[in-house]
C-alpha cells in the first residue's frame, strides 16, 4: 500500500484511500483493451490522473473545514479578526476555535442569562464563577420625576438608571494562575458581551478578596477587582 500512503506500511483497518479507489475506477473504465500491469505506461498515467483528482478532492474538504469553527486552521486568524476576537498570548488553537464557535453561535441568540452564562463558560473557563443579579427589591434606580414600582421599590428623580440592568460577573483566580494570564482572560469579556447585550445593559466583572463579598481597604488590588 506504499503507493497510497506516506509510509510504505499500512496500519489499522482502513478500507482504502480515495487515490486507490479513483485509480481502480479509471483502470476499470479502460475495459480490457488496455493492460492493468503496475509497470505499464497505462497504469502510470491513470495513477497520475487519480492523484490529481484526489488532490482536488482533499483540497475541497480542507476548504469546507475552514468554515467549521472546530476544524478551521488557515482561516482561524481571519475569522478572529472578522469577529473581533483577540486571543490571549498563551491561548491554544483548541481554545481559539471554541471561542470562534461561541461568538458565531451568539449572533442572533437572545441575550438571556443562560445564553450569557454559556458564552462566558467557554470564554473564561475555570475563571468564570457565575452571574450576580440584583433583584428589584434591592435595586437602585432613577427615573425622571421619580416613581414607585409595584412591590414597594421607590425610584428617585433623575436620569434613567437602574442597577437591575447591570450584569455582575463573578470570577475566581485559580491557584497557580499568574496575574497576567488572569487579566488577559477577563479582558475577553467585553469583546464577547458588547455584541450580545442590549445597549441599556451594563456589565462588569469582579474578583472577591480573601474576606469574600465587599470592598476592603486593607486588601491588595481592591480598587481594581472587588465589588463595592
pLDDT digits (tens, 9 = 90+) for 166-220: 888 999 988 888 888 888 888 889 888 888 888 888 888 888 766 666 666 666 6
Task: Name the strand (E) or helix (H) holding 222.
Answer: helix 222-225
And the C-alpha cell for 49?
A: 490522473
Number of domains composing the chain = 2
Is 76 part of a structural domain of the chain?
A: no
Cell numbers found for residue 175? 491557584
- The answer to whether residues 127 and 20 belong to one domain is no
Whether residue 52 sits in one domain with residue 133: no
User: What does the DSSP assignment read for 108-142?
Assistant: T----HHHHHHHHHHHHGGGEEEEE---GGG--EE
Q: Are residues 140 and 219 in the same domain?
A: yes
CA torsion 99-102-103-106 (nearest 10°) is -160
How confident is the prediction for the chain on average, in pLDDT?
79
Same domain, residue pair 33 and 118: no
On whether residue 97 sits in a domain, the answer given is no
Residue with grid cell 470592598, as numbered in its chain:
215
Q: How far is CA 212 from CA 148, 223, 228, in A?
A: 33, 15, 11
Q: Are 96 and 125 in contact (CB under 8 A)?
A: no
**What are residue 205's phi and psi, to 5 degrees?**
-110, 160
Examine the domain organization and report whether 56 and 138 are in the same domain: no
| Amino acid 1: pLDDT | 43
pLDDT at 210: 65
Write down the H helix ranges in 10-88: 18-29, 41-65, 76-83
Same domain, 207 and 112: yes
Determine the Cα–Cα distance for residues 1 and 224; give it in Å rounded to an integer.
63
Q: How far, in whole angstroms, is CA 19 from its chain's centroid?
A: 35
Note the pLDDT of residue 66. 67
Q: Has residue 198 been placed in a domain?
A: yes
Q: What share of the chain is helix, strand, coil (3-state, %, to 5)?
A: 45, 15, 40
Quick one: 115 and 202 in the same domain? yes
Q: Is residue 114 part of a domain?
A: yes
Intervals of the chain under pLDDT 70: 1-16, 59-60, 63-67, 136, 151-152, 209-224, 226, 228
State pTM to two decimals: 0.57
- What is the predicted pLDDT for the residue at 214? 64
- If asked whether residues 119 and 211 sit together in one domain, one would say yes
Q: Is residue 74 part of a domain?
A: no
Domain that holds residue 17: 2-65
Which residues partner with 154 through β-bridges?
Answer: 148
pLDDT of residue 223: 63
The verdict on 214 and 117 lying in the same domain is yes
Domain membership of residue 163 (yes or no) is: yes
Tell me the torsion sign for CA atoms 189, 122, 139, 148: positive
Helices (H) and strands (E) in the chain, counts: 8, 7
| Residue 152 pLDDT | 65
Angle formed by the axes of helices 18-29 and 41-65, nearest 10°? 140
Residue 194 lies in a domain: yes
Same domain as 220, residue 127: yes
Amino acid at each position: 500500500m506504499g503507493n497510497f500512503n506516506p509510509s510504505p506500511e499500512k496500519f489499522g483497518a482502513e478500507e482504502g484511500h480515495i487515490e486507490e479507489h479513483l485509480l481502480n475506477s479509471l483502470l476499470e473504465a479502460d475495459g480490457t483493451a488496455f493492460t492493468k500491469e503496475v509497470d505499464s505506461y497505462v497504469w502510470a498515467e491513470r495513477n497520475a490522473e487519480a492523484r490529481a483528482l484526489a488532490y482536488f478532492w482533499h483540497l475541497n474538504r480542507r476548504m469546507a473545514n475552514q468554515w467549521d469553527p472546530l476544524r478551521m486552521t488557515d482561516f482561524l486568524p481571519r475569522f478572529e479578526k472578522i469577529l473581533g476576537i483577540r486571543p490571549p498570548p498563551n491561548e491554544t488553537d483548541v481554545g481559539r476555535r471554541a471561542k470562534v464557535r461561541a461568538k458565531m453561535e451568539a449572533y442572533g441568540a437572545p441575550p438571556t442569562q443562560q445564553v450569557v452564562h454559556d458564552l462566558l463558560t467557554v470564554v473564561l473557563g475555570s475563571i468564570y464563577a457565575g452571574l450576580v443579579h440584583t433583584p428589584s427589591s434591592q435595586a437602585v434606580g432613577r427615573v425622571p420625576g421619580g416613581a414607585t414600582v409595584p412591590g414597594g421599590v421607590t425610584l428617585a428623580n433623575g436620569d434613567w438608571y437602574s442597577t437591575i440592568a447591570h450584569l455582575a460577573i463573578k470570577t475566581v483566580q485559580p491557584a497557580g494562575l499568574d496575574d497576567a494570564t488572569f487579566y488577559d482572560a477577563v479582558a475577553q469579556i467585553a469583546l464577547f458581551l458588547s455584541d450580545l447585550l442590549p445597549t441599556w445593559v451594563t456589565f462588569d466583572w469582579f474578583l472577591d478578596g480573601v474576606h469574600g463579598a465587599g470592598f476592603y481597604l486593607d486588601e491588595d488590588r481592591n480598587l481594581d477587582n472587588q465589588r463595592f
